[in-house]
Structures are given as structure tokens and as C-alpha cells.
Structure 1
């Protein structure tokens, strides 16, 4: 059980990017009336953005 929790926390920045940053990005784009680039939907763009940022945080160990 401890090992499972350790593995979960190891990927937590990526999951946070997908689960929180992606919908937040899509909602902010909808609120401000901004269309996603390249003809993507807002949530697709948010998932790409949030996933990339979470992956960066996972690799580097920090968000900025």
C-alpha cells in the first residue's frame, strides 16, 4: 500500500495538470471569449497545456 501511494504521489504534478489546470484553462478561455488555436476545442487545448505543464513539473520537480 505504501508503494502504491508513493507511485501516486510521484505522478501527482501531472495529474494536477490534467485534472485541475486543464479545466481551469478551458473555463477561463470560455469566460474571456478566447478561441483555442489550431481549431482545437478549449478543453483539448487545456488538456495539452495542463498535461505539458504537469509533465514539466514532474520532470523538473517544480512548477516554474
Structure 2
């Protein structure tokens, strides 16, 4: 169990990016009436941004 939790916490920034930042971007863009570029939906754009940012944070170990 301890090993599983350690592995989960290693990818936690990626999960946070996909599970929190992506829906936040989607809801904020819908609230403010913004359109996503290149014909994407706002959720797809949020998943791309959140996933890339979470992957960056997972690899580098920091968000900035």
C-alpha cells in the first residue's frame, strides 16, 4: 500500500493539472464567453493546457 501511495504522489501534479486545472479553464472560459482557438472546445483546450502544465510540474518537480 505504501508503494502504491508513493507512486500516486509522484504523478499527483499531472492528476491535479488534468482533474482541477482543466475543468477550471473550461468553466472560466464559458463564464466569460471566450472561444477556444483552432476550433477546439473549451474543455479540450483546458485538458491540453492542464495536462502539459501538470506534466511539466511532474517532470521538473515544481509548477513554475
TM-score range, shorter chain: over 0.9
Paired residue for 2:19? 19
Paired residue for 1:54? 54
Question: CA separation in 2, counterparts of 1:15 and 1:37?
Answer: 24
Shift of 1:50: 0.3
Report the TM-score when normalising by structure 1: 0.98
Unpaired runs of at least 5, structure 2: none
Calculate the aligned-residue CA RMSD, in Å: 0.4
Question: CA separation in 2, counterparts of 1:5 and 1:33?
Answer: 39
Unpaired runs of at least 5, structure 1: none
How many residue pairs align between the two structures?
64
Runs of 4+ in 1 over 2 A off after TM superposition: none
